DNA sequence: ACCCCGCATTAACATGGGTAAATCTTCGGG
DNA sequence: CCCGAAGATTTACCCATGTTAATGCGGGGT
Protein backbone atom coordinates (compact mmCIF):
# COMPACT_ATOMS: atom_id res chain seq x y z
CA UNK A 1 0.00 0.00 0.00
CA UNK A 2 1.71 3.06 -1.27
CA UNK A 3 -0.75 5.72 -0.32
CA UNK A 4 -1.28 7.75 2.76
CA UNK A 5 -4.86 8.44 3.70
CA UNK A 6 -4.08 11.92 4.86
CA UNK A 7 -2.41 12.90 1.62
CA UNK A 8 -5.64 12.72 -0.28
CA UNK A 9 -4.78 14.35 -3.58
CA UNK A 10 -3.21 17.32 -1.88
CA UNK A 11 -6.52 19.12 -1.55
CA UNK A 12 -6.63 19.12 2.23
CA UNK A 13 -6.65 22.49 3.86
CA UNK A 14 -5.97 21.58 7.45
CA UNK A 15 -4.10 18.59 8.83
CA UNK A 16 -6.68 16.43 10.56
CA UNK A 17 -4.38 16.12 13.49
CA UNK A 18 -4.19 19.84 13.84
CA UNK A 19 -7.91 20.07 13.37
CA UNK A 20 -8.50 17.55 16.09
CA UNK A 21 -6.09 19.13 18.50
CA UNK A 22 -7.41 22.61 17.97
CA UNK A 23 -11.06 21.63 18.01
CA UNK A 24 -13.02 23.44 20.70
CA UNK A 25 -13.52 20.14 22.50
CA UNK A 26 -9.86 19.69 23.24
CA UNK A 27 -8.56 21.17 26.45
CA UNK A 28 -4.97 22.07 27.16
CA UNK A 29 -4.28 18.86 29.08
CA UNK A 30 -5.83 16.88 26.29
CA UNK A 31 -3.57 18.37 23.69
CA UNK A 32 -0.55 17.73 25.81
CA UNK A 33 -1.53 14.14 26.50
CA UNK A 34 -2.13 13.45 22.83
CA UNK A 35 1.22 14.98 21.96
CA UNK A 36 3.05 12.92 24.56
CA UNK A 37 1.40 9.65 23.62
CA UNK A 38 1.64 10.12 19.90
CA UNK A 39 3.00 7.24 17.84
CA UNK A 40 3.43 6.57 14.15
CA UNK A 41 2.60 3.31 12.41
CA UNK A 42 3.00 2.20 8.84
CA UNK A 43 0.18 0.75 6.75
CA UNK A 44 -0.84 -2.81 7.56
CA UNK A 45 0.40 -2.86 11.14
CA UNK A 46 -1.58 -5.01 13.52
CA UNK A 47 -1.83 -2.98 16.68
CA UNK A 48 -3.86 -5.36 18.74
CA UNK A 49 -5.04 -8.91 18.23
CA UNK A 50 -8.51 -10.02 19.26
CA UNK A 51 -8.68 -10.89 22.97
CA UNK A 52 -5.23 -9.43 23.59
CA UNK A 53 -4.74 -7.64 26.86
CA UNK A 54 -5.85 -4.04 26.57
CA UNK A 55 -7.01 -1.15 28.67
CA UNK A 56 -5.77 1.83 26.69
CA UNK A 57 -7.79 4.33 24.68
CA UNK A 58 -6.80 5.12 21.10
CA UNK A 59 -7.19 8.54 19.50
CA UNK A 60 -6.68 8.61 15.76
CA UNK A 61 -4.72 11.71 14.78
CA UNK A 62 -4.26 10.77 11.14
CA UNK A 63 -4.72 7.73 8.91
CA UNK A 64 -7.28 4.94 8.81
CA UNK A 65 -7.82 2.00 11.15
CA UNK A 66 -9.80 -1.18 10.57
CA UNK A 67 -11.44 -3.09 13.40
CA UNK A 68 -11.96 -6.72 12.55
CA UNK A 69 -12.91 -10.18 13.80
CA UNK A 70 -11.89 -13.42 12.15
CA UNK A 71 -13.26 -16.93 12.00
CA UNK A 72 -11.11 -19.92 12.84
CA UNK A 73 -10.54 -20.65 9.16
CA UNK A 74 -9.12 -17.18 8.65
CA UNK A 75 -12.08 -15.33 7.14
CA UNK A 76 -11.96 -11.71 8.21
CA UNK A 77 -14.88 -9.36 8.76
CA UNK A 78 -14.12 -5.68 9.12
CA UNK A 79 -16.48 -4.47 11.80
CA UNK A 80 -15.77 -0.78 11.51
CA UNK A 81 -13.36 1.69 9.99
CA UNK A 82 -11.99 4.45 12.20
CA UNK A 83 -11.02 7.80 10.75
CA UNK A 84 -8.96 10.73 12.07
CA UNK A 85 -10.47 12.53 15.03
CA UNK A 86 -12.22 9.44 16.34
CA UNK A 87 -11.73 7.73 19.66
CA UNK A 88 -11.61 4.00 20.24
CA UNK A 89 -12.11 1.98 23.43
CA UNK A 90 -11.27 -1.58 22.51
CA UNK A 91 -11.76 -2.88 26.04
CA UNK A 92 -14.49 -5.50 26.33
CA UNK A 93 -16.96 -6.11 29.14
CA UNK A 94 -14.46 -8.04 31.24
CA UNK A 95 -12.45 -4.83 31.55
CA UNK A 96 -9.07 -6.03 30.37
CA UNK A 97 -9.09 -7.60 26.93
CA UNK A 98 -9.78 -6.20 23.49
CA UNK A 99 -12.94 -7.24 21.67
CA UNK A 100 -11.50 -6.65 18.22
CA UNK A 101 -8.36 -6.77 16.21
CA UNK A 102 -7.04 -3.33 15.36
CA UNK A 103 -4.95 -2.72 12.27
CA UNK A 104 -3.83 0.27 10.24
CA UNK A 105 -5.12 0.58 6.69
CA UNK A 106 -2.74 3.43 5.89
CA UNK A 107 0.15 5.12 7.58
CA UNK A 108 -1.35 6.44 10.77
CA UNK A 109 -0.49 8.45 13.80
CA UNK A 110 -2.29 7.60 17.02
CA UNK A 111 -2.26 8.68 20.60
CA UNK A 112 -2.44 5.58 22.78
CA UNK A 113 -3.50 6.69 26.23
CA UNK A 114 -3.35 4.28 29.21
CA UNK A 115 -6.52 3.85 31.19
CA UNK A 116 -5.44 5.73 34.29
CA UNK A 117 -4.37 8.74 32.32
CA UNK A 118 -7.53 8.70 30.23
CA UNK A 119 -9.71 8.68 33.34
CA UNK A 120 -7.82 11.68 34.60
CA UNK A 121 -8.41 13.49 31.34
CA UNK A 122 -12.09 12.67 31.47
CA UNK A 123 -12.26 14.09 34.94
CA UNK A 124 -10.55 17.38 34.06
CA UNK A 125 -12.36 17.98 30.82
CA UNK A 126 -16.11 17.31 30.80
CA UNK A 127 -16.37 17.85 27.05
CA UNK A 128 -14.30 14.73 26.47
CA UNK A 129 -17.10 12.63 27.88
CA UNK A 130 -19.51 14.19 25.50
CA UNK A 131 -17.17 13.63 22.60
CA UNK A 132 -16.84 10.00 23.62
CA UNK A 133 -20.57 9.49 23.90
CA UNK A 134 -21.10 11.01 20.49
CA UNK A 135 -18.37 8.88 18.97
CA UNK A 136 -19.95 5.76 20.39
CA UNK A 137 -23.41 6.71 19.19
CA UNK A 138 -22.09 7.41 15.71
CA UNK A 139 -20.23 4.13 15.64
CA UNK A 140 -23.25 2.11 16.71
CA UNK A 141 -25.39 3.87 14.18
CA UNK A 142 -22.94 3.05 11.40
CA UNK A 143 -22.61 -0.52 12.50
CA UNK A 144 -26.34 -1.05 12.47
CA UNK A 145 -26.74 0.44 9.03
CA UNK A 146 -24.11 -1.96 7.81
CA UNK A 147 -25.74 -4.88 9.62
CA UNK A 148 -29.04 -4.08 7.96
CA UNK A 149 -27.45 -4.35 4.54
CA UNK A 150 -25.35 -7.33 5.53
CA UNK A 151 -28.50 -9.16 6.52
CA UNK A 152 -30.97 -7.91 3.94
CA UNK A 153 -29.24 -5.95 1.22
CA UNK A 154 -27.94 -6.87 -2.20
CA UNK A 155 -24.28 -6.65 -3.13
CA UNK A 156 -24.92 -3.35 -4.88
CA UNK A 157 -26.60 -1.75 -1.90
CA UNK A 158 -23.86 -2.89 0.48
CA UNK A 159 -21.15 -1.35 -1.62
CA UNK A 160 -23.13 1.77 -2.38
CA UNK A 161 -23.76 2.23 1.32
CA UNK A 162 -20.11 1.80 2.24
CA UNK A 163 -19.01 4.31 -0.38
CA UNK A 164 -21.56 6.84 0.80
CA UNK A 165 -20.81 6.36 4.47
CA UNK A 166 -17.12 6.93 3.92
CA UNK A 167 -17.75 9.89 1.66
CA UNK A 168 -19.91 11.60 4.29
CA UNK A 169 -17.43 10.93 7.06
CA UNK A 170 -14.45 12.06 5.05
CA UNK A 171 -16.21 15.19 3.92
CA UNK A 172 -17.04 16.04 7.51
CA UNK A 173 -13.36 15.99 8.44
CA UNK A 174 -12.38 17.72 5.19
CA UNK A 175 -10.49 14.79 3.78
CA UNK A 176 -12.70 14.68 0.76
CA UNK A 177 -13.96 17.34 -1.58
CA UNK A 178 -16.37 17.01 -4.48
CA UNK A 179 -17.26 13.47 -3.47
CA UNK A 180 -13.84 12.20 -4.41
CA UNK A 181 -11.51 10.30 -2.13
CA UNK A 182 -8.86 7.67 -1.93
CA UNK A 183 -9.81 4.40 -0.28
CA UNK A 184 -6.75 2.84 1.35
CA UNK A 185 -8.15 -0.67 0.94
CA UNK A 186 -7.84 -3.44 -1.60
CA UNK A 187 -11.00 -4.92 -3.09
CA UNK A 188 -10.45 -7.83 -0.76
CA UNK A 189 -10.52 -5.43 2.21
CA UNK A 190 -13.65 -3.77 0.90
CA UNK A 191 -15.19 -7.21 0.53
CA UNK A 192 -14.30 -8.05 4.13
CA UNK A 193 -15.95 -4.80 5.10
CA UNK A 194 -19.25 -5.35 3.32
CA UNK A 195 -19.41 -9.14 3.43
CA UNK A 196 -18.65 -10.00 -0.19
CA UNK A 197 -15.91 -11.89 -1.99
CA UNK A 198 -13.30 -9.75 -3.70
CA UNK A 199 -14.47 -11.05 -7.05
CA UNK A 200 -17.99 -9.87 -6.45
CA UNK A 201 -16.75 -6.51 -5.19
CA UNK A 202 -14.97 -6.13 -8.49
CA UNK A 203 -18.05 -7.10 -10.50
CA UNK A 204 -20.19 -4.66 -8.55
CA UNK A 205 -17.77 -1.76 -8.75
CA UNK A 206 -17.40 -2.27 -12.47
CA UNK A 207 -21.15 -2.25 -12.90
CA UNK A 208 -21.45 1.01 -10.99
CA UNK A 209 -18.66 2.31 -13.18
CA UNK A 210 -20.34 1.32 -16.41
CA UNK A 211 -23.56 2.94 -15.30
CA UNK A 212 -21.71 6.17 -14.68
CA UNK A 213 -22.65 6.32 -11.00
CA UNK A 214 -19.06 6.33 -9.79
CA UNK A 215 -15.64 5.96 -11.26
CA UNK A 216 -12.64 4.23 -9.76
CA UNK A 217 -9.15 5.13 -10.77
CA UNK A 218 -5.83 3.56 -9.96
CA UNK A 219 -6.05 1.39 -6.89
CA UNK A 220 -9.21 2.63 -5.34
CA UNK A 221 -9.54 6.31 -6.00
CA UNK A 222 -13.27 6.77 -5.78
CA UNK A 223 -15.29 9.48 -7.39
CA UNK A 224 -19.04 9.62 -6.95
CA UNK A 225 -20.68 11.17 -9.99
CA UNK A 226 -24.32 10.60 -9.20
CA UNK A 227 -24.97 10.69 -5.48
CA UNK A 228 -28.70 10.57 -5.93
CA UNK A 229 -28.61 7.27 -7.73
CA UNK A 230 -25.97 5.88 -5.41
CA UNK A 231 -28.06 6.88 -2.39
CA UNK A 232 -31.05 5.27 -4.03
CA UNK A 233 -29.15 2.02 -4.58
CA UNK A 234 -27.89 2.14 -1.01
CA UNK A 235 -31.41 2.90 0.19
CA UNK A 236 -30.31 5.83 2.32
CA UNK A 237 -31.61 9.28 3.01
CA UNK A 238 -28.40 11.32 2.86
CA UNK A 239 -29.36 14.01 5.33
CA UNK A 240 -30.69 11.65 7.89
CA UNK A 241 -27.68 9.39 7.59
CA UNK A 242 -25.35 12.33 7.97
CA UNK A 243 -26.98 13.47 11.18
CA UNK A 244 -26.94 9.96 12.65
CA UNK A 245 -23.40 9.13 11.72
CA UNK A 246 -21.42 12.31 12.03
CA UNK A 247 -20.39 13.59 15.44
CA UNK A 248 -21.35 17.17 15.93
CA UNK A 249 -18.44 19.15 17.24
CA UNK B 1 -47.34 -13.47 20.99
CA UNK B 2 -48.74 -15.14 24.05
CA UNK B 3 -45.65 -15.76 26.09
CA UNK B 4 -43.94 -13.73 28.72
CA UNK B 5 -40.18 -13.83 28.71
CA UNK B 6 -39.90 -13.49 32.43
CA UNK B 7 -42.16 -16.44 33.12
CA UNK B 8 -39.63 -18.88 31.82
CA UNK B 9 -41.00 -22.25 32.91
CA UNK B 10 -41.34 -21.05 36.48
CA UNK B 11 -37.75 -21.96 37.24
CA UNK B 12 -36.58 -18.44 38.00
CA UNK B 13 -35.45 -17.88 41.53
CA UNK B 14 -35.29 -14.12 41.63
CA UNK B 15 -37.32 -11.63 39.63
CA UNK B 16 -34.85 -9.92 37.31
CA UNK B 17 -36.32 -6.62 38.22
CA UNK B 18 -35.65 -7.24 41.87
CA UNK B 19 -32.22 -8.47 41.02
CA UNK B 20 -31.46 -5.36 39.04
CA UNK B 21 -32.76 -3.05 41.69
CA UNK B 22 -30.93 -4.80 44.47
CA UNK B 23 -27.68 -5.20 42.57
CA UNK B 24 -24.73 -3.59 44.33
CA UNK B 25 -24.44 -1.10 41.49
CA UNK B 26 -27.76 0.48 42.24
CA UNK B 27 -27.76 3.38 44.63
CA UNK B 28 -30.72 4.58 46.59
CA UNK B 29 -31.50 7.38 44.12
CA UNK B 30 -31.22 4.95 41.28
CA UNK B 31 -33.77 2.58 42.77
CA UNK B 32 -36.15 5.39 43.40
CA UNK B 33 -35.79 6.78 39.90
CA UNK B 34 -36.36 3.38 38.34
CA UNK B 35 -39.43 2.87 40.51
CA UNK B 36 -40.87 6.25 39.57
CA UNK B 37 -40.23 5.89 35.86
CA UNK B 38 -41.37 2.31 35.61
CA UNK B 39 -43.82 1.43 32.84
CA UNK B 40 -45.37 -1.78 31.58
CA UNK B 41 -45.74 -2.74 27.93
CA UNK B 42 -47.31 -5.73 26.28
CA UNK B 43 -45.55 -7.91 23.73
CA UNK B 44 -45.13 -6.43 20.28
CA UNK B 45 -45.32 -2.78 21.28
CA UNK B 46 -43.26 -0.41 19.21
CA UNK B 47 -41.74 2.00 21.70
CA UNK B 48 -39.79 4.12 19.32
CA UNK B 49 -39.56 4.34 15.57
CA UNK B 50 -36.27 4.87 13.79
CA UNK B 51 -35.28 8.55 13.68
CA UNK B 52 -38.04 9.48 16.12
CA UNK B 53 -37.23 12.20 18.61
CA UNK B 54 -35.51 10.75 21.63
CA UNK B 55 -33.23 11.70 24.47
CA UNK B 56 -34.32 9.32 27.21
CA UNK B 57 -32.44 6.35 28.61
CA UNK B 58 -34.17 2.97 28.88
CA UNK B 59 -33.53 0.48 31.67
CA UNK B 60 -35.01 -2.94 31.11
CA UNK B 61 -36.46 -4.27 34.35
CA UNK B 62 -38.08 -7.35 32.86
CA UNK B 63 -38.88 -8.75 29.43
CA UNK B 64 -37.08 -8.66 26.09
CA UNK B 65 -36.56 -5.79 23.65
CA UNK B 66 -35.52 -5.91 20.01
CA UNK B 67 -33.62 -3.08 18.35
CA UNK B 68 -34.13 -3.04 14.62
CA UNK B 69 -33.62 -1.18 11.36
CA UNK B 70 -35.70 -1.65 8.25
CA UNK B 71 -35.18 -1.17 4.55
CA UNK B 72 -37.62 0.87 2.49
CA UNK B 73 -39.32 -2.26 1.21
CA UNK B 74 -40.07 -3.37 4.75
CA UNK B 75 -37.32 -5.90 5.39
CA UNK B 76 -36.34 -5.82 9.04
CA UNK B 77 -32.95 -6.53 10.57
CA UNK B 78 -32.81 -7.00 14.31
CA UNK B 79 -29.60 -5.29 15.37
CA UNK B 80 -29.57 -6.39 18.98
CA UNK B 81 -31.73 -7.98 21.64
CA UNK B 82 -31.83 -6.33 25.05
CA UNK B 83 -32.45 -8.36 28.18
CA UNK B 84 -33.41 -7.47 31.76
CA UNK B 85 -30.81 -5.48 33.66
CA UNK B 86 -29.47 -3.80 30.54
CA UNK B 87 -29.37 -0.12 29.73
CA UNK B 88 -30.11 1.42 26.36
CA UNK B 89 -29.21 4.86 24.97
CA UNK B 90 -31.00 5.12 21.67
CA UNK B 91 -29.86 8.68 21.03
CA UNK B 92 -27.77 9.07 17.90
CA UNK B 93 -24.84 11.35 17.22
CA UNK B 94 -27.01 14.37 16.50
CA UNK B 95 -28.12 14.26 20.13
CA UNK B 96 -31.87 14.17 19.67
CA UNK B 97 -33.13 11.34 17.49
CA UNK B 98 -33.10 7.58 17.92
CA UNK B 99 -30.83 5.48 15.74
CA UNK B 100 -33.01 2.38 15.97
CA UNK B 101 -36.53 1.18 16.28
CA UNK B 102 -37.28 -0.26 19.71
CA UNK B 103 -39.97 -2.87 20.21
CA UNK B 104 -40.93 -5.34 22.92
CA UNK B 105 -40.61 -9.03 22.14
CA UNK B 106 -42.46 -10.04 25.29
CA UNK B 107 -44.37 -8.28 27.98
CA UNK B 108 -41.81 -5.94 29.48
CA UNK B 109 -41.39 -3.43 32.23
CA UNK B 110 -39.01 -0.57 31.60
CA UNK B 111 -37.84 2.53 33.35
CA UNK B 112 -37.73 5.36 30.82
CA UNK B 113 -35.55 8.07 32.29
CA UNK B 114 -35.37 11.54 30.68
CA UNK B 115 -31.97 12.86 29.82
CA UNK B 116 -31.74 15.50 32.53
CA UNK B 117 -32.66 13.08 35.26
CA UNK B 118 -30.26 10.45 33.94
CA UNK B 119 -27.37 12.91 33.97
CA UNK B 120 -28.18 13.72 37.54
CA UNK B 121 -28.14 10.04 38.44
CA UNK B 122 -24.81 9.59 36.70
CA UNK B 123 -23.42 12.44 38.73
CA UNK B 124 -24.59 11.09 42.08
CA UNK B 125 -23.63 7.50 41.50
CA UNK B 126 -20.25 6.90 39.87
CA UNK B 127 -20.89 3.17 39.53
CA UNK B 128 -23.64 3.89 37.01
CA UNK B 129 -21.07 5.19 34.57
CA UNK B 130 -19.11 2.03 34.93
CA UNK B 131 -22.21 -0.06 34.43
CA UNK B 132 -23.03 1.92 31.31
CA UNK B 133 -19.54 1.56 29.88
CA UNK B 134 -19.64 -2.17 30.47
CA UNK B 135 -23.07 -2.46 28.89
CA UNK B 136 -21.87 -0.63 25.82
CA UNK B 137 -18.73 -2.73 25.54
CA UNK B 138 -20.77 -5.91 25.84
CA UNK B 139 -23.22 -4.74 23.25
CA UNK B 140 -20.51 -3.82 20.75
CA UNK B 141 -18.83 -7.12 21.32
CA UNK B 142 -22.06 -9.02 20.64
CA UNK B 143 -22.83 -6.95 17.59
CA UNK B 144 -19.43 -7.63 16.08
CA UNK B 145 -19.67 -11.35 16.68
CA UNK B 146 -22.98 -11.31 14.88
CA UNK B 147 -21.58 -9.19 12.07
CA UNK B 148 -18.75 -11.66 11.59
CA UNK B 149 -21.23 -14.47 11.07
CA UNK B 150 -23.56 -12.31 9.03
CA UNK B 151 -20.72 -11.56 6.67
CA UNK B 152 -18.83 -14.83 6.65
CA UNK B 153 -20.78 -17.56 8.41
CA UNK B 154 -23.12 -20.27 7.20
CA UNK B 155 -26.77 -20.42 8.21
CA UNK B 156 -25.94 -23.07 10.79
CA UNK B 157 -23.23 -21.04 12.43
CA UNK B 158 -25.40 -17.92 12.57
CA UNK B 159 -28.19 -19.73 14.32
CA UNK B 160 -25.88 -21.68 16.59
CA UNK B 161 -24.20 -18.46 17.59
CA UNK B 162 -27.47 -16.71 18.37
CA UNK B 163 -28.67 -19.61 20.50
CA UNK B 164 -25.42 -19.70 22.42
CA UNK B 165 -25.24 -15.97 22.93
CA UNK B 166 -28.74 -15.85 24.33
CA UNK B 167 -28.12 -18.89 26.50
CA UNK B 168 -25.04 -17.33 28.05
CA UNK B 169 -26.75 -14.02 28.66
CA UNK B 170 -29.87 -15.59 30.12
CA UNK B 171 -27.86 -17.85 32.36
CA UNK B 172 -25.92 -14.87 33.67
CA UNK B 173 -29.16 -13.20 34.80
CA UNK B 174 -30.61 -16.50 36.02
CA UNK B 175 -33.36 -16.66 33.48
CA UNK B 176 -32.12 -19.94 32.17
CA UNK B 177 -31.01 -23.12 33.86
CA UNK B 178 -29.59 -26.25 32.33
CA UNK B 179 -29.23 -24.56 28.95
CA UNK B 180 -32.96 -24.41 28.50
CA UNK B 181 -34.94 -21.27 27.78
CA UNK B 182 -37.92 -19.82 26.08
CA UNK B 183 -37.27 -17.61 23.07
CA UNK B 184 -40.03 -15.00 22.75
CA UNK B 185 -39.57 -14.76 19.00
CA UNK B 186 -41.13 -16.35 15.96
CA UNK B 187 -38.91 -18.05 13.41
CA UNK B 188 -39.38 -14.96 11.29
CA UNK B 189 -38.00 -12.82 14.13
CA UNK B 190 -35.07 -15.15 14.59
CA UNK B 191 -34.44 -14.91 10.85
CA UNK B 192 -34.49 -11.13 11.04
CA UNK B 193 -31.97 -11.40 13.86
CA UNK B 194 -29.47 -13.65 12.08
CA UNK B 195 -30.10 -12.56 8.50
CA UNK B 196 -31.99 -15.58 7.15
CA UNK B 197 -35.46 -16.20 5.76
CA UNK B 198 -37.92 -17.84 8.13
CA UNK B 199 -37.98 -20.90 5.89
CA UNK B 200 -34.27 -21.37 6.19
CA UNK B 201 -34.38 -20.81 9.93
CA UNK B 202 -36.85 -23.63 10.09
CA UNK B 203 -34.70 -25.92 7.94
CA UNK B 204 -31.65 -25.18 10.06
CA UNK B 205 -33.36 -25.63 13.41
CA UNK B 206 -34.81 -28.94 12.26
CA UNK B 207 -31.39 -30.12 11.19
CA UNK B 208 -29.91 -29.25 14.56
CA UNK B 209 -32.85 -31.07 16.11
CA UNK B 210 -32.34 -34.21 14.04
CA UNK B 211 -28.67 -34.26 14.93
CA UNK B 212 -29.57 -34.13 18.61
CA UNK B 213 -27.67 -30.91 19.24
CA UNK B 214 -30.71 -29.02 20.46
CA UNK B 215 -34.40 -29.58 20.74
CA UNK B 216 -37.17 -27.08 20.21
CA UNK B 217 -40.54 -27.54 21.79
CA UNK B 218 -43.80 -25.68 21.38
CA UNK B 219 -43.23 -22.28 19.89
CA UNK B 220 -39.57 -21.77 20.53
CA UNK B 221 -38.66 -23.43 23.77
CA UNK B 222 -35.00 -24.14 23.25
CA UNK B 223 -32.95 -26.80 24.93
CA UNK B 224 -29.29 -27.21 24.14
CA UNK B 225 -28.23 -30.83 24.54
CA UNK B 226 -24.72 -30.70 23.20
CA UNK B 227 -23.09 -27.34 23.85
CA UNK B 228 -19.73 -28.52 22.65
CA UNK B 229 -20.99 -29.33 19.20
CA UNK B 230 -23.14 -26.22 19.07
CA UNK B 231 -20.16 -24.08 20.06
CA UNK B 232 -18.13 -25.82 17.40
CA UNK B 233 -20.74 -25.08 14.74
CA UNK B 234 -20.95 -21.48 15.92
CA UNK B 235 -17.16 -21.29 15.94
CA UNK B 236 -17.01 -19.83 19.41
CA UNK B 237 -14.88 -20.36 22.46
CA UNK B 238 -17.48 -20.38 25.21
CA UNK B 239 -15.36 -18.98 28.00
CA UNK B 240 -13.91 -16.21 25.93
CA UNK B 241 -17.30 -15.26 24.57
CA UNK B 242 -18.77 -15.18 28.04
CA UNK B 243 -16.13 -12.81 29.32
CA UNK B 244 -16.51 -10.50 26.33
CA UNK B 245 -20.27 -10.41 26.31
CA UNK B 246 -21.38 -10.55 29.90
CA UNK B 247 -21.16 -7.45 32.05
CA UNK B 248 -19.36 -8.12 35.28
CA UNK B 249 -21.31 -6.74 38.16
C1' DA C 1 15.17 -3.83 -19.52
C1' DC C 2 13.52 -7.65 -17.15
C1' DC C 3 11.18 -10.10 -13.75
C1' DC C 4 8.12 -10.48 -9.84
C1' DC C 5 4.45 -9.91 -7.14
C1' DG C 6 0.31 -8.30 -5.57
C1' DC C 7 -3.83 -6.90 -7.13
C1' DA C 8 -7.71 -6.27 -10.51
C1' DT C 9 -10.47 -8.33 -14.01
C1' DT C 10 -13.03 -11.82 -16.43
C1' DA C 11 -15.20 -16.12 -17.41
C1' DA C 12 -17.17 -20.78 -16.25
C1' DC C 13 -19.23 -23.28 -13.01
C1' DA C 14 -21.19 -24.69 -8.28
C1' DT C 15 -24.23 -23.92 -4.41
C1' DG C 16 -26.39 -22.02 -0.29
C1' DG C 17 -30.09 -19.82 0.72
C1' DG C 18 -34.28 -17.18 -1.04
C1' DT C 19 -39.17 -17.47 -2.83
C1' DA C 20 -43.65 -19.29 -3.45
C1' DA C 21 -47.05 -22.14 -2.36
C1' DA C 22 -49.27 -26.06 -0.26
C1' DT C 23 -50.07 -28.50 4.09
C1' DC C 24 -50.02 -29.11 8.94
C1' DT C 25 -50.44 -27.70 13.83
C1' DT C 26 -51.88 -25.07 17.61
C1' DC C 27 -54.78 -22.19 19.94
C1' DG C 28 -58.36 -18.91 21.09
C1' DG C 29 -63.17 -17.57 20.38
C1' DG C 30 -68.01 -18.26 19.52
C1' DC D 1 -67.19 -28.67 18.59
C1' DC D 2 -66.09 -25.98 14.70
C1' DC D 3 -63.70 -22.14 12.58
C1' DG D 4 -60.17 -18.92 11.46
C1' DA D 5 -55.68 -16.99 12.10
C1' DA D 6 -50.90 -17.31 12.92
C1' DG D 7 -47.08 -19.65 12.71
C1' DA D 8 -44.22 -24.03 11.53
C1' DT D 9 -42.98 -27.34 8.05
C1' DT D 10 -41.97 -29.18 3.56
C1' DT D 11 -41.24 -29.26 -1.28
C1' DA D 12 -39.78 -27.54 -5.78
C1' DC D 13 -37.49 -24.30 -8.16
C1' DC D 14 -34.42 -20.23 -8.99
C1' DC D 15 -30.87 -16.96 -8.58
C1' DA D 16 -27.33 -14.09 -6.28
C1' DT D 17 -23.11 -14.76 -4.84
C1' DG D 18 -19.08 -17.78 -3.95
C1' DT D 19 -15.18 -20.44 -6.02
C1' DT D 20 -11.62 -21.47 -9.04
C1' DA D 21 -8.62 -20.39 -12.24
C1' DA D 22 -6.73 -18.02 -16.12
C1' DT D 23 -5.24 -13.43 -17.73
C1' DG D 24 -3.95 -8.69 -17.44
C1' DC D 25 -1.49 -4.96 -15.48
C1' DG D 26 1.39 -1.61 -13.05
C1' DG D 27 5.15 -0.61 -9.98
C1' DG D 28 9.45 -1.74 -7.55
C1' DG D 29 13.81 -3.98 -7.26
C1' DT D 30 18.00 -5.53 -9.40
Q: What residue spans define the domains of chain B?
A: 19-141, 143-245
Q: Where are the beta strands (DSSP E) in chain B?
A: 38-41, 46-48, 57-62, 65-70, 76-82, 87-88, 101-104, 108-113, 180-182, 214-217, 221-224
- Cα–Cα dist B125/B128, whole Å: 6
Q: Which pLDDT score is estimated for B12?
A: 37
φ, ψ dihedrals at A97, nearest 5°: -125, 160
- Cα–Cα dist B141/A95, whole Å: 12
End-to-end CA gap in chain A: 32
Fold of domain B19-141: Jelly Rolls (2.60.120)
Higher pLDDT residue, B115 or B9? B115
Length of chain B: 249
CB contact under 8 A, B152 and A100: no
Q: What are the C-alpha distances in Å from B23 to residues B26, B109, B249?
A: 6, 17, 8
In this prediction, residue B6 has a pLDDT band, given cuts at 50, 70 and 90, of very low
Please give the share of chain A, as a percent, with pLDDT higher than 70: 89
Q: Which pLDDT score is estimated for A23?
A: 61
Kindly report which amino acid residue has its CA closest to the C1' atom of nucleotide D27: A2
SS3 content of chain B, % helix, strand, coil (to 5): 45, 20, 35
Question: Mean pLDDT, to the nearest integer, of A139-163?
Answer: 98
Question: Mean pLDDT, to the nearest integer, of A84-102?
Answer: 94
Does the pLDDT of residue A10 top 60, yes or no?
A: no
Interval B136-170: pLDDT, tens: 999 999 999 999 999 999 999 999 999 999 999 99
Domain spanning A143-245, CATH architecture: Orthogonal Bundle (1.10)
Q: Is residue B134 within 8 angstroms of chain A, CB to CB? A: yes
Taking the CA of residue A201 and the C1' sugar atom of nucleotide D26, their distance in angstroms comes to 20
- Cα–Cα dist B180/B155, whole Å: 22
- Which member of B100, B136, B152 has the closest CB to residue A75? B152
Taking the CA of residue A30 and the C1' sugar atom of nucleotide D8, their distance in angstroms comes to 58
- Cα–Cα dist B158/B110, whole Å: 29
Residue B52, SS3? coil
- Cα–Cα dist A223/A189, whole Å: 18
Same fold, A19-141 and A143-245: no
- Cα–Cα dist B234/B162, whole Å: 8
SS3 for B61-77 is EECCEEEEEECCCCCEE
Amino acid sequence: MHVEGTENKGERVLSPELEFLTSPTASCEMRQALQTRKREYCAGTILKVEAEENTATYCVLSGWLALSKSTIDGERQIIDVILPGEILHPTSADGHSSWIQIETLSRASLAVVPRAEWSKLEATDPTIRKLEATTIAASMSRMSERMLRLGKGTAESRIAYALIELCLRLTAIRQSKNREYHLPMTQKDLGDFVGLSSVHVCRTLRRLNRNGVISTMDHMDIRIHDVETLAHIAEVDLDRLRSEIISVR
